[in-house]
Chain A
């Protein structure tokens, strides 16, 4: 090889010279940006009164804040300039939650999957500074006294099945997680009035960006607008995204109650007109979500506190029918139906009575039950997350978990887009978020809808079948494990896996 090289060098002097010349000149190549920077600032100078952001999150509720917090705590997205638009006073940082404040009747049951995501972005430590209640047991039973089932975290080798946290605590923790991240974001304490996403004219400097007009009359531009503005989403409406939904002729009463014993179990009892759930929220408090007919709800909202507490205790234990009998050994009553396989480690758990309620600790709030699902989650420069994309009834406590799932998925997709230099408002990128979340949410909604239909109607004598289903769930271990992992946010397709 050296031999060939040496021989060739002799008659290629001119080539060497030209090569050297090439090398010397390389530093002389003009940097394209140098003389353009000037041009740029001139061109955009007249628009400095309209701030330009990478992401504008409309709605700083729990889900919008989860997105902001996740973006701020992810390496590739923390440098994005994020705007949060919401007139909600809870976003003013002066507002601190005090231990002695009465518990908020609006609580969420967060799943282990959500807890893990909160931990990843450093927000869970703030939740732990406030009132919260982990629960490791769940007891579901039926007013007929024919069946019950108990779920245990041990069944799926977990410490907990979930954690009940007041919404204001979740919200505050996300805000703290955001404030303590090293990132740039601006909160606009206004409402969104209108939005334009169609490029006005290609000659305007931000022509291709979305333009938002706020309630104070000011405007801003963003590459991506995220609608996290709840079930009556203005963003969804302005983006022309339609949705499909239906109302159930049922309402839910939500309130906080106090009891004497400590509670580490989530309780749910099916009554003739719908289920009642008692969720521990810590400090001898629990949260009630009770579904019933609209007539019953207005009646129970207006009755005296004493009467209402009495009604609650009847609904949770003493009224409607007998307590189911604990199965200790021998064949369970519906073994012929369920073909029982008794290996679930909690199969021997005895039936327990729910804690006796002594006092009402909040006002009673009534909500109509409805299901609503957006037909699309994205359009050019717009994505919708949380209740803006889907609302479910509070029955299974999945609403906000679905929203958190959306927020983390969108945050991940934005991060992937940044990694490959995409325009983060590009529809093809946002479609990836949609295709990740839509099937998951639709499955969850179908299950909740089915659940609703199966359990809110009094089947009369057919209740025996429903009770059999409980017995089945109680004794068929793999099925039961699936149900728990589904409810704890780990599995996408319960029962079919």
Chain B
């Protein structure tokens, strides 16, 4: 579990720049904060105060912002058949799965006040797995009792996910849809927990994407995001290129320049009125072939965040 200490470090790096006090009543004013922050921290022009009534409805506004990155999506469509091959291109995700799920279990049991000794602690909670791919994450979440919606922008992935989930009566209840986070925001869907693991590095506009995730999270809900750290480039040349990129992932699956650092992620989430509560790193041990949770967020990291309610 990452130390409060680490978070403090990240905050102290972001706060002075932001100069932003914790906004209040954000949950009931999501759009408002959204714009407040856009105004304060982006180049976007502020909405005209002169004509509040005639401002176009937010839906059309959102439609124009798409997180889809066509080049990235094509890469996933090309290897969609291999999602459930534990030795295939998605081997790193399979290997990392128990570790990241342990983090998710412990943070979300605490968040929702659920018994960690329960077999199905998430019973009665609605989760959305954004960028679910073949369902590597959705299936365990369903087994842990959650009512899961899995969404992916690639139709082929959704087909594979559905076929695989149908093999087990428990996972066959997962609601798989080929759509995007933005479209679900338009449909005004809300979830107790919104998860987007290893997706943000593939989207067109991470900041907009985070705003959509925020809008999908209900009041008092939780958001979980994991991604690869951009600053691990040096490390990448050593073990990771060999173990992670070259051997497992087809060349070009990741575009290093699109990766975020933990500091950047905290910042863009903060702007989307989501506060990171805890962060943990995943470190890979090439000798045991296992990933483990650690304080070291320099390679791969996961953030557990809450939607601001005050």
A interface with B by C-beta (< 8 Å): 1, 4-5, 8-16, 18-23, 25-26, 29, 31-33, 36-37, 40, 44, 75-77, 79, 199, 202, 205-209, 416-423, 426-429
Is B218 located at the chain interface by the 8 A CB criterion? yes
Are the C-beta atoms of A18 and B126 separated by less than 8 Å?
A: no
Chain B residues positioned under 8 Å from A75 (CB to CB): 117
Is B242 located at the chain interface by the 8 A CB criterion? no
Minimum C-beta distance from B47 to chain A (A): 7
CB under 8 Å from chain A, chain B span 98-125: 98, 101-102, 105, 117, 119
CB nearest neighbor in B for A203: B166
Q: Are A29 and B58 also in contact (CB < 8 A) when A8-B36, A23-B28, A420-B105 are? A: no
Interface digits, B44-73 against A, CB 8 Å rule (1 contact, 0 not)?
000101001101011000000000000000
Are the C-beta atoms of B29 and A19 separated by less than 8 Å?
A: yes
Are the C-beta atoms of A11 and B49 separated by less than 8 Å?
A: yes
Mind listing 9 A-B residue pairs with CB under 8 Å? Answer: A5-B24, A8-B32, A9-B32, A10-B49, A12-B35, A26-B218, A419-B102, A420-B105, A423-B143
Are the C-beta atoms of B167 and A208 separated by less than 8 Å?
A: yes
Are the C-beta atoms of B52 and A14 separated by less than 8 Å?
A: yes
Are the C-beta atoms of A29 and B189 separated by less than 8 Å?
A: yes
Are the C-beta atoms of A208 and B23 separated by less than 8 Å?
A: no
Chain A residues positioned under 8 Å from B52 (CB to CB): 11-14
Minimum C-beta distance from B280 to chain A (A): 14
CB nearest neighbor in B for A41: B169
Are the C-beta atoms of A15 and B126 separated by less than 8 Å?
A: no
Q: In the complex, what distance in Å separates the CA atom of A254 from the CA atom of B10?
A: 69
Which of A5, A33, A209, A429 has a CB less than 8 Å from the CB of B147?
Answer: A33
Is B272 located at the chain interface by the 8 A CB criterion? no
Q: In the complex, what distance in Å separates the CA atom of A428 from the CA atom of B172?
A: 22
Which of B94, B126, B144 has a CB less than 8 Å from the CB of A31?
Answer: B126
CB under 8 Å from chain A, chain B span 63-95: 86, 94-95
CB under 8 Å from chain A, chain B span 181-202: 188-190
By CB atoms of chain B within 10 A, which of A36, A199, A208, A421 has the most?
A421
By CB atoms of chain A within 10 A, which of B58, B98, B175 has the most?
B98
| Chain B interface helix/strand/loop/mixed | mixed
Chain A residues positioned under 8 Å from B57 (CB to CB): 14, 18
Are the C-beta atoms of B32 and A19 separated by less than 8 Å?
A: yes
Q: In the complex, what distance in Å separates the CA atom of A376 from the CA atom of B141?
A: 30
Are the C-beta atoms of A205 and B169 separated by less than 8 Å?
A: yes
Are the C-beta atoms of B144 and A14 separated by less than 8 Å?
A: no
Chain A residues positioned under 8 Å from B117 (CB to CB): 75-76
Q: In the complex, what distance in Å separates the CA atom of A426 from the CA atom of B101?
A: 15
Are the C-beta atoms of B143 and A26 separated by less than 8 Å?
A: no
Q: In the complex, what distance in Å separates the CA atom of A10 from the CA atom of B29?
A: 13
Given contacts A14-B53, A37-B173, 10 further A-B contacts (CB under 8 A): A5-B23, A9-B29, A12-B35, A13-B52, A33-B173, A40-B169, A208-B167, A417-B98, A421-B142, A427-B86
Minimum C-beta distance from A40 to chain B (A): 6
Chain B residues positioned under 8 Å from A14 (CB to CB): 31, 52-53, 55, 57-58
Are the C-beta atoms of A15 and B147 separated by less than 8 Å?
A: no
B interface with A by C-beta (< 8 Å): 21, 23-24, 28-32, 34-36, 47, 49, 52-53, 55, 57-58, 86, 94-95, 97-98, 101-102, 105, 117, 119, 126, 139-144, 147-149, 163, 166-169, 172-175, 188-190, 215, 218-219
Chain A residues positioned under 8 Å from B167 (CB to CB): 199, 202, 206-208
Are the C-beta atoms of B98 and A420 separated by less than 8 Å?
A: yes
Q: Are A19 and B31 also in contact (CB < 8 A) when A32-B148, A33-B147, A420-B101 are? A: yes
Q: In the complex, what distance in Å separates the CA atom of A40 from the CA atom of B167?
A: 11
CB nearest neighbor in A for B138: A421
By CB atoms of chain A within 10 A, which of B94, B119, B139 has the most?
B119
CB nearest neighbor in B for A12: B32
Q: In the complex, what distance in Å separates the CA atom of A16 from the CA atom of B139?
A: 36
Chain A residues positioned under 8 Å from B149 (CB to CB): 32
Minimum C-beta distance from A365 to chain B (A): 44
Are the C-beta atoms of A421 and B101 separated by less than 8 Å?
A: yes
Are the C-beta atoms of B58 and A15 separated by less than 8 Å?
A: yes
Chain A residues positioned under 8 Å from B21 (CB to CB): 1
CB nearest neighbor in B for A15: B31
Chain B residues positioned under 8 Å from A40 (CB to CB): 169, 172-173
9 smallest A-B Cβ distances: which pairs? A421-B140, A32-B175, A15-B31, A420-B101, A26-B190, A421-B143, A208-B167, A75-B117, A1-B21
By CB atoms of chain A within 10 A, which of B36, B149, B167 has the most?
B167
Q: In the complex, what distance in Å separates the CA atom of A11 from the CA atom of B23?
A: 17
Chain A residues positioned under 8 Å from B172 (CB to CB): 36, 40
Are the C-beta atoms of B168 and A36 separated by less than 8 Å?
A: no
Are the C-beta atoms of B188 and A11 separated by less than 8 Å?
A: no
Are the C-beta atoms of A15 and B140 separated by less than 8 Å?
A: no
Are the C-beta atoms of A422 and B29 separated by less than 8 Å?
A: no
Are the C-beta atoms of B126 and A29 separated by less than 8 Å?
A: yes
Chain B residues positioned under 8 Å from A426 (CB to CB): 86
Are the C-beta atoms of B166 and A12 separated by less than 8 Å?
A: no
Q: In the complex, what distance in Å separates the CA atom of A16 from the CA atom of B33?
A: 10
Are the C-beta atoms of B53 and A36 separated by less than 8 Å?
A: no
CB nearest neighbor in B for A36: B173
Are the C-beta atoms of A15 and B29 separated by less than 8 Å?
A: yes
CB nearest neighbor in A for B20: A1
Chain B residues positioned under 8 Å from A18 (CB to CB): 31, 57-58
Chain B residues positioned under 8 Å from A208 (CB to CB): 167-168
Q: In the complex, what distance in Å separates the CA atom of A14 from the CA atom of B32?
A: 9
Are the C-beta atoms of A32 and B173 separated by less than 8 Å?
A: yes
Q: In the complex, what distance in Å separates the CA atom of A428 from the CA atom of B168?
A: 18
Which of B31, B97, B105, B144 has a CB less than 8 Å from the CB of A12?
Answer: B31
Minimum C-beta distance from A153 to chain B (A): 35
Minimum C-beta distance from B11 to chain A (A): 17
Q: In the complex, what distance in Å separates the CA atom of A219 from the CA atom of B32?
A: 61
Q: In the complex, what distance in Å separates the CA atom of A16 from the CA atom of B23?
A: 15
Q: In the complex, what distance in Å separates the CA atom of A484 from the CA atom of B61?
A: 75
Chain A residues positioned under 8 Å from B119 (CB to CB): 76-77, 79, 418
Chain A residues positioned under 8 Å from B32 (CB to CB): 8-9, 12, 15-16, 19
Chain A residues positioned under 8 Å from B140 (CB to CB): 420-422
Chain B residues positioned under 8 Å from A428 (CB to CB): 86, 94-95
Minimum C-beta distance from B9 to chain A (A): 24
Minimum C-beta distance from A183 to chain B (A): 11
CB nearest neighbor in A for B103: A420
Q: In the complex, what distance in Å separates the CA atom of A334 from the CA atom of B203?
A: 76
Q: In the complex, what distance in Å separates the CA atom of A334 from the CA atom of B189?
A: 83
Are the C-beta atoms of A25 and B28 separated by less than 8 Å?
A: no
Q: In the complex, what distance in Å separates the CA atom of A300 from the CA atom of B94?
A: 58
Chain A residues positioned under 8 Å from B166 (CB to CB): 202
CB nearest neighbor in B for A17: B31
Are the C-beta atoms of A421 and B47 separated by less than 8 Å?
A: no
Are the C-beta atoms of B219 and A22 separated by less than 8 Å?
A: no
CB nearest neighbor in A for B47: A11
CB nearest neighbor in A for B54: A14
Chain A residues positioned under 8 Å from B148 (CB to CB): 32
Minimum C-beta distance from A418 to chain B (A): 6
Chain B residues positioned under 8 Å from A4 (CB to CB): 36
Chain A residues positioned under 8 Å from B35 (CB to CB): 8, 12, 15
